[in-house]
Amino acid sequence: MSTNEAFQKAVEDSRKLTSKPSNDSLLELYAFYKVSNGDDFSKAEKPGMFDLKASSISASYDFHKRHTNTNSQAKAKYNAWKKALEEDQLTPEGAKQKYIELVEKLKVDCGYDADKAPEAVGS
C-alpha cells in the first residue's frame, strides 16, 4: 500500500474511533492533516486577541468543521500547524507518516470499530 493510500485509510479509520482522543492528539491530527495536504500556512489568518468569533482555519476536514471555533481553539489549531511546519519541519510525506502512526496508536488507546459509521474525529 502506498503512503497516500495508507494516509487515506488512516483518515477513514480516525473517523471510526470509539472514544474521543485527547485534545493534544486532536491538535496533532489537525496539524499533520494540514501539512499532509500541502495547505498554505502563509495564507492562514492568525487568530487575534480580540476576535470574538474566530473563523475556521480549515473547512476541508470534518473535525475542523464540526464546531465554531472559539478564539482559544483557533489559536491552538494555528499554533499546532505552525509547530509542525517550523519546529518539527515536517514535509507533506513526513506528516502523512506521522498521521498514520498517530491513528494506529489512537486505535489502540481509544478503541476502533471498523464497522462503525464514520463520524467527525473527536465526537
CA dihedral 79, 82, 86, 88 (to 10 degrees): 70
In a domain, 41, yes or no: yes
In a domain, 121, yes or no: no
Question: What confidence tens digit (pLDDT) does each residue in 83-105 have?
Answer: 999 988 999 999 999 999 999 99
**71-81 mean pLDDT:** 88
In a domain, 117, yes or no: no
Q: Which three cell numbers stand for residue 14?
A: 480516525
**Residues 85, 87: Cα–Cα separation, whole Å:** 6
In a domain, 118, yes or no: no
Record the pTM. Answer: 0.79
Contact between 95 and 84 (Cβ < 8 Å)? yes
Indicate the pLDDT class of residue 8, thresholds 50, 70 and 90.
very high
Distance, first Cα to last Cα, the chain:
29
The DSSP string of 35-92 is HHTT--GGGSPPPPTT-SSPPPS-SSSHHHHSSPPPHHHHHHHHHHHHHHHHTS---H
Number of domains in the chain: 1
Please provide the average confidence, as pLDDT, over all residues in the chain.
84
pLDDT of residue 69 exceeding 90: no
Q: Which domain holds residue 78?
A: 3-110
In a domain, 18, yes or no: yes
CATH number, residue 65: 1.20.80.10
What's the pLDDT score for residue 100?
98
pLDDT of residue 40 exceeding 80: yes
Indicate the pLDDT class of residue 121, thresholds 50, 70 and 90.
confident
**55-76 mean pLDDT:** 58
